Amino acid sequence: MSIAFSHNPASDYLRVRNAVRHFNTPEGGVVKALDGINLNIGQSEFITLLGPSGCGKTTLLKIIAGFERLDSGKITLDSQTLLELSAHRRPVNTVFQSYALFPHMSVGDNVGYGLEVAGVKKPERVQRIGEALEMVGLAGIEKRLPSQLSGGQQQRVALARAIVNRPKVLLLDEPLSALDRHLRMKMQIELKNLQTELGICFLFVTHDQEEALTMSDRIVVLNGGKVEQLGTPTEIYHRPASRFVADFIGESNVFEGKVVRFDDFGADVQCGELLIRTEDRNLITGSAVEVMLRPEQFTLLDSSTSAAGQQVLTATLEQAVFVGSDHQLVCRLASGQQISALVRGHCHHLQVGQPLQLAYSSADVHTIPAVF
């Protein structure tokens, strides 16, 4: 299933049309690395490609960069067909996970290498190297060797090298994954600021869903060489288009059910013994759906709180784990299904085995068409 929630007509700066790339494996099989990808991306969007290992993220970047060919399909950038241009003539640049700096060359020479190859004269080169290093927060270190820099600094030099010739699109393949958590979070902010400052399109690959949710204007969720969903972080998180997306991004409680009634305000879905009310209005009686609630959409009821206007589930507490300001509760419904709830406040009085009342709002209940 391929669903684009938010098609913005202005987003056709980078267009990928029916991109297909199959690989023959040494075992005699065929891998569909890209299986009909369509994307419309804006001129200054921060786009993240997210998906499990082997879903085609690197293949798509390599094809846009010109390091890999397409079997069929078309890619245009700023109305120019890309596929006819050799890699070094494309107005794109790539930053990889491994910084791949030339170890024997100074930082300045590393950053200016592409300019030199392109025949840019020395005075302009020096100026542009200085500007690029300044943009990544490393002004004045032109003379150092890569070995005299930390991992984070090396990655910034790789970024400076990639932006120095002013590409229209920057391709970033897991550029932060070699960095430790602290540095990685710092670089996430720097990268986002750099993208805003440059005003160019970033196509960023990560395995890390949190990183994708915090940095991106829009996220492309890939699965088996296909686009599962293209949407803003909020759409992807709260309105996943498929069970795959719901399970892949964040934690979710999913109930399988059937629509038993609908009206102008929503529908009732029978999920085993549970009747769940949703405000989704595109459902018809008899259709099979999956109903999703995120853990943080539950509130825990006690004697002092009422469920006014809310739906309530009764479940047995199996585990409560303190996670900073919240508690992660694992509970079991009478049906045997396990559910996860993230609740605020003091839960120290709770006992494993006790019944809990978990309230949720029908406005938060998202439904996904069931696919059999």
* 23 lies in the binding site for ligand ATP (CB under 6 A): yes
- Per CB under 6 A, does 178 bind ligand ATP? no
- Assigned token pair, 133: 């290093």
Nearer to ligand ATP, 56 or 66 (CB): 56
Pairing of strands 14-24, 3-4: unpaired
User: Tell me, what DSSP letter sits at residue 217?
Assistant: S
Closest CA to 133 of 117, 121, 149, 119: 149
Judged by CB under 6 A, which stretch of 1-9, 50-58, 118-126, 134-142 contacts ligand ATP?
Answer: 50-58
The answer to whether residue 33 forms part of the interface with ligand ATP (CB under 6 A) is: yes
The binder of 59, among ligand ATP, Mg ion, none, by C-beta within 5 to 8 A per type, is ligand ATP
Please, what is the minimum distance in Å from the beta carbon of residue 204 to Mg ion?
12
- Phi/psi at 55 (nearest 5 deg)? -80, -5
C-beta closer to ligand ATP: residue 57 or 239: 57
Q: Which helix (H) or strand (E) covers residue 34, if one does?
A: strand 30-41
> Is 53 an interacting residue with respect to ligand ATP (CB under 6 A)?
yes
Task: Count other Cβ atoms within 10 Å, centred on residue 203.
Answer: 25
Rule CB under 6 A: say whether 58 interacts with ligand ATP: yes
Q: At its nearest, how many Å lie between ligand ATP and the CB of residue 200? A: 22
Applying CB under 6 A, does 55 fall inside the site for ligand ATP? yes
Question: What is the rounded CA–CA span in Å between residue 371 and residue 227?
Answer: 16
Q: Pick the stretch among 53-61, 70-78, 279-287, 363-371 that binds ligand ATP (CB under 6 A).
A: 53-61
Identify what 33 binds: ligand ATP, Mg ion, none; CB under 5 to 8 Å per kind.
ligand ATP
DSSP secondary structure code for residue 88 in this structure: G
56 binds ligand ATP (CB under 6 A): yes
- 31 is a site residue for ligand ATP (CB under 6 A): yes
Does position 226 interact with ligand ATP (CB under 6 A)? The reply is no
Give the nearest distance from C-beta 57 to Mg ion in angstroms: 5
Task: Measure Cα distances from 192 to 46, 198, 310 in Å.
Answer: 8, 10, 39
Short-list 62, 161, 46, CA closest to 102: 161
> What is the dihedral angle through the alpha carbons of 197, 200, 206, 208, rounded to the nearest 10 degrees?
40
Per CB under 6 A, 257 contacts ligand ATP = no
Asked if 320 contacts 327 with a C-beta cutoff of 8 angstroms, the reply is yes
Interface contacts to ligand ATP, rule CB under 6 A: 23, 25, 31, 33, 53-59, 207
